[in-house]
Amino acid sequence: MPGPELLLQTVQKSVPLESEEQQRLLVAFQKGTFPRKEFFLRSGEVCKQVAFVLQGCLRSYAVDEEGTEHNLQFAPEGWWITDMNSILYNQPAQLNIEAIEDTQALLMNREQQELLFRDLPILERFFRIITEKSMAGSHKRLIEQVSVNAKDRYIHFCKLYPELIQRLPQKQIASYIGVTPEFLSKIKSELLKGKS
């Protein structure tokens, strides 16, 4: 059962917080526990909350017409995750967000967040900053997806998230880089041949 220290640390990497501000921040959240395979959000529901992962790992994914899952994001410890389209526009989520491992998270709903911004403008700054950063990340991801082939996307993923390679089943990584598990298997065996 990890405490909320990771959240305070994370926020304070971007903006300084007094002790009372820290308290005010924490009361905006509630704790959430998600055993492996349980859902934080199911597509069709309206997403009301943003999650900050303390332990474990969540993933967000969309399902296409053929029923194939496409991973959008992994959220291990210290990451934020939500369905921005659903929460912003109050629309049914296209995304599912599911625990890949037993997960502990801090959850904050939108109204709480807006009250928080009203009380502590510094936290509006924090969220402005992390939203800019995740915007930048999302752009990088899109560029990579359209302008790099599958093998190089895999190589890049390995460099960028070495700990996730250890931690996650290959099929989850395949779904993230946008190939079938069979093709990822082929890529890996080619890489092994090439190296030895």
Quick one: which of 84, 161, 183, 191 contacts DNA (CB under 7 A)? 183
Q: Determine, following the binding rule CB under 7 A, whether residue 151 of this chain makes contact with DNA.
A: yes
Where are the strands (E) in the chain, listed by range?
30-34, 39-41, 49-55, 57-63, 69-76, 80-81, 96-99, 103-109
Q: Which entry of a copy of itself, DNA, none binds 147, CB below 5 to 8 A by partner kind?
A: a copy of itself
Quick one: which of 35, 125, 160, 180 contacts a copy of itself (CB under 8 A)? 125
- Subset of residues 2 to 61 that bind a copy of itself, contact rule: CB under 8 A: none
Q: Determine, following the binding rule CB under 8 A, whether residue 142 of this chain makes contact with a copy of itself.
A: yes
Cβ at position 27, least distance to a copy of itself in Å: 21
Specify which residues 96 forms β-bridges with: 61
- Subset of residues 91 to 120 that bind a copy of itself, contact rule: CB under 8 A: 94-95, 117
Quick one: which of 55, 79, 124, 167 contacts a copy of itself (CB under 8 A)? 124
Q: How many residues does the chain have?
A: 196
Q: Determine, following the binding rule CB under 8 A, whether residue 68 of this chain makes contact with a copy of itself.
A: yes
Q: C-alpha 99: how far from its chain's center?
A: 11
DSSP letters along 35-67, please?
-TT-EEE-BTBBP-EEEEEEESEEEEEEE-TT-
